[in-house]
Chains A and B, each alone.
Chain A
Amino acid sequence: MSERLLTVNDLNVRYGKVEALYGASLSVDRGTIVSVIGPNGAGKSTLLNAVMGVLPSRGIIEFCGNNMGNVSIERRVAQGLCLVPETRELFSQMSVEDNLELGAFTRYRRGDKGIRATLDSVFKLFPRLEQRRSQMAGSLSGGERQMLALGRALMCQPTLLMLDEPSLGLAPLIVKEILNNISSLRSTGVSILLIEQNARAALQISDYGYVLENGEIALEGPSRELANNPRVIESYLGIGGVEAKIEC
């Protein structure tokens, strides 16, 4: 039986300028990849930011059996919850290597000795980062930045990695590479909560999927089933049923 890693129950976010969330519930089991798909503005990023603690929210967020209610972002990171935001948030005036080292900041504070080894494994996963280790992060190409963002998150040895639109703004070939990387992470034991507007790709690499529409979970199910669900096909995998959605 798989172990429940993250439980989000009845999460509400209503906060000024962000896309709102109305009573969203979802869960992630250990060792799985879960994707959340949905149109732009449906509240997907809001969901991740709320789970991370970047946005204030009402509702229950349980990670590894602990309530995250009053826990600061830093503590969540230390407990193995990691977010790669849509904006990447790299330290662009610092070198690739410094960025990666800082990813392990919470482990360093704990006196973890295995940081070097993790760095090597990240370089193995993304050889291109090793080639550019002393280059400033700001001078990397879009794909390399995404790799660095992923690598930096992996440096903290997350239990659950949350990825917000990892394919955003990347050329198709690079998207493919990044998604392959993500898919291969499963074997390292990392669980992933993935947000993608590229619905077909997301459902292909994930085990379970949720469809978020207008701030609410509209559908959920194993990814393969979702990929064959007529409604999902219409709205996200094909453009057939467009008229059905707007009655003018």
Chain B
Amino acid sequence: MIRRFGYMLFLLLLLIIPMFPSFYLTMGSYIGLYSIVAIGLVLLTGVAGLTSFGQAAFMGLGAYTSAVLTTHLAWSPWLALFVAIALTVTVAFILGAITLRMGGHYLPLATIAWGISLYFLFGTIPILGGSNGISDIQALRLFGMELTDEKIFYYLIWGVCLVALWISTNLLDSREGRAIRALKGGVSMVEAFGASGLRLKNVVFIYSAVLACLAGWLYAHMQRFVNPSPFGLNQGIEFLFMITIGGAFSFWGAITGATVITLLKTVLQGILPKLISQSGNFEIIVFGIMIVVVLQWMRGGIWAFVERLLPQKAARPVARSSDLDMRIQPMKGTPLLKVTDVTKAYGGLIAVKGMNFDISSGEIVGLIGPNGAGKSTMFNLISGEVPHTAGDITFGNHIISGLRPPRIAKLGLSRTFQHVRLIPGMSTIENVMIGAYLRTHDGIFSAGLSLNRASDERVRAEAARQLRRVGLEGSMFDPAGSLSLGNQRVVEIARALCADPLLLLLDEPAAGLRHLEKKELANLLSDLRKEGLSVLIVEHDMDFLMNLVDRFVVMEFGEKLAEGLPQEIRSNPAVLEAYLGGV
């Protein structure tokens, strides 16, 4: 209710601003332009955990491309927009492809360098007019009307801004968006469910660059004049300041930040030089101090405060039944996974040495061994997270050793993580929905335009079904971070089930659980077995598995020590020795 009231108030304010003197109108237009850029930056920085100082340069790319094409070649601005976007996508793609594989700080460093280069290029290339820039840029024409009126342009800018807001919000609420929200915690979780982390990062970077380019294009045709100065590194930094102050975790934070910084800049530029009786951009001192204070005291920015005051958004109801396609589980007893002579060496250290075992459909196998025996490495070799050194792992008819996790996930292997990898701030059901990443196929575009509603609802229903299956229906809409560790592990299992796997891999699911929680987990797994699921559990705690598994594989020092039925393993002297040690 309050939220809806807020939206109405915001729209009303936007509508009536042109009735104030033209100073406010100009301010409003600038805020709109900067908000467009900041929305992209929120997606990049606040959501995906990457950052760029080059947004102003992308803006400049949009502005200059259109300026050159419309003045020197007399192209239509709309055609120029296409060229500008194509250029931006190319540049962003190259920068992203080069830097995103490496540590997170290489992208900002590369964008600093590229921002400076482009700024100098704008100032030196003769056709771009040097520091004088390019003037007399064509006005935009829409339906035969020339958009020279400042008021109309103001509405155009805010129209674009609101559409960008709508698309970005839609995007986050989609299968790709949920995967993007998971990127901050490392890519291995989303990769385990079939998404490519690198591709997602690149997509987000390109998307934010395109928004900046669009803003630049609008800027060029609003001013009808461009010069290098608004596209320098300082402006790129100011965009980052906007979202830091406004709140990097929400698109509304972007608009808040753009508003605050733009207004404050105007005020300070009026006051400070008089105060100091010297001319110069002294507002940067104030901005810099503000940022340090915000980072130290209120890292969520202004919007985090506002968000706390607003009532919770009501959860959308979930459809009762899900009709997502399911895999046909193979006949019980069909060979499923076969590990043949698998070896993994880290330099001279051999972590796994000539391992052999297999799993058939409908079977629960426990891979156990003392700490440091190489169980986790074996697990990661199967899931594809760690490349193997020698040997073969076959899953169904496919050799999966050497494949990356997303490919393996596609074949029907699904896993949990020993260190729970949920997105704490996201609702439990949305976390589980990530598991179904490969079961629908909506891309970025259909998500942005909200064409994915129907299939997304089906995924939601499926996630709810899995949560019911594991007994956590009641916490469906709670943030995953608010659940107990035991329940978070169960959510991980639900998420893995949501992928509709042929084989479920569980990595130490009982570690850190209290006695009762362990018992409940054992009951859950034994219920799942009744439903015909095939499971490989890596565990240290043999007691936990004793009544659960069909078969044990025991490892020690990277090698298979024993294999057999629980009763055999319990009385195997070598196993007893390995577990108890001897001095």
**Do any beta carbons of A and B sit within 8 angstroms of each other in the complex?**
yes
Q: Which bracket fits the contact residues of A?
A: 35 or more
**Hey, which bits of chain B sit against chain A, CB under 8 A?**
349, 370-372, 419-420, 485, 508, 510-515, 518-519, 522-523, 526, 540-544, 546-548, 557, 570, 576, 579-583
Verify if A186 is at the interface (C-beta below 8 Å from B): no
Which chain B residue has the least Cβ–Cβ distance from A170?
B372
Q: A176-B583, A246-B547, A248-B547 are in contact. Are A171 and B420 (CB under 8 A)?
A: no
In the complex, chain A residues 77-129 whose Cβ is within 8 Å of any chain B Cβ: none
* CB atoms of A201 and B583 under 8 A apart: yes
**What's the least CB distance linking B366 to chain A, in Å?**
13
A242 touching B514 by the CB < 8 A rule?
no
**Which residues does chain B contribute within 8 Å of A226, judged by CB atoms?**
none
- 9 further A-B pairs in the complex, CB-CB below 8 A; given A39-B540, A243-B547, A246-B547: A20-B485, A39-B541, A168-B372, A169-B371, A199-B580, A200-B583, A238-B580, A242-B546, A246-B518
Interface string of A10-28 (1 = CB under 8 A from B): 0000000111100000000
The proximity string for A residues 194-233 relative to B, scoring 1 for CB distances below 8 Å and 0 otherwise, is 0001111100100000000111000000000000000000
Contact in complex: B371, A41 (CB < 8 Å): no
**Which residue of A41, A175, A248 is within 8 Å of B581 (Cβ)?**
A175
List 27 A-B pairs, Cβ < 8 Å.
A17-B420, A18-B512, A39-B540, A40-B371, A40-B541, A41-B508, A41-B511, A168-B371, A169-B371, A172-B581, A172-B582, A175-B583, A197-B370, A197-B371, A199-B580, A200-B583, A201-B581, A213-B515, A239-B576, A242-B542, A242-B546, A242-B570, A243-B546, A243-B547, A246-B519, A247-B519, A248-B522
Instruction: Kindly state whether residue A5 has any CB partner on chain B within 8 Å.
Output: no
* Structural contact, A237 and B580, CB atoms closer than 8 A: yes
Quick check: A242 and B543 within 8 Å, CB to CB?
yes
Q: Is the interface of A mostly helix, strand, loop or mixed?
A: loop
A165→B371 contact, CB < 8 A: yes
Q: A215 near B420 (CB under 8 angstroms)?
A: no
Q: Which 8 A-B pairs have the closest CB atoms?
A: A169-B372, A198-B581, A41-B511, A19-B512, A40-B540, A201-B583, A214-B514, A41-B512
Given the complex, which residues of A lie within 8 Å of B579, measured CB to CB?
Answer: 239
Contact of B510 among A41, A142, A200, A247 (CB under 8 A): A41
Q: Is B547 a contact partner of A41 (Cβ separation < 8 A)?
A: no
Interchain nearest-CB distance for A16 vs B (Å): 9
Structural contact, B583 and A204, CB atoms closer than 8 A: yes
Q: If A20-B485, A168-B372, A197-B370 touch, does A179 touch B508 (CB 8 Å cutoff)?
A: no
Total of A-B residue pairs, C-beta within 8 Å:
89
CA separation between A170 and B371, bound complex, in Å?
Answer: 10
A172 neighbours in B (Cβ, 8 Å): 581-582
In the complex, what residues of B have CB within 8 A of residue A199's CB? Answer: 580-581
Cβ–Cβ contact A239 & B548, under 8 A = no
Chain A residue with Cβ nearest B510: A41
Across the interface, name the chain A residue whose C-beta is closest to B540.
A40
**In the bound complex, CA of A165 to CA of B543 (Å):** 21
B526's partner among A167, A175, A198, A248 (CB-CB below 8 A) is A248
Neighbouring B residues of A198 by C-beta, 8 Å: 580-581, 583
Residues of B with C-beta under 8 A to A242: 542-543, 546, 570
CA distance A199 to B576 in the complex (A): 13
Closest to A43 in B: B512
Partner of A248, one of B511, B514, B548: B548
C-alpha spacing A17/B421, complex, angstroms = 9
B576, closest chain A residue (CB): A239
Contact yes or no, A239 B541, CB < 8 A: no
A200 touches B371 (CB 8 A): no
Query: A235 contacts which chain B residues (CB < 8 A)?
Result: 543
State in angstroms the CA–CA spacing of A116 and B542 once bound together: 47
Q: Which A-chain residue is minimally distant from B424 (CB atoms)?
A: A16
Chain A residues with CB under 8 A of B540:
39-41
Q: How far is the CA of A40 from the CA of B542 in the complex (A)?
A: 10
- Collect the chain B residues with CB atoms within 8 Å of residue A247's CB: 519
Residues of chain B contacted by A215 (CB below 8 angstroms): 514
Q: Mark A45-78, 1 if CB is under 8 A from B, else 0.
A: 0000000000000000000000000000000000
Q: How many angstroms from the CA of A199 to the CA of B485 in the assembled complex?
A: 27
Minimum CB–CB distance from B182 to chain A (whole Å) comes to 16
Q: Are B511 and A167 in contact (CB under 8 A)?
A: no
- A199: shortest Cβ distance to chain B, in Å? 7
The B-contacting residues of A in range 127-175, CB under 8 angstroms, are: 142, 165, 167-169, 171-172, 175
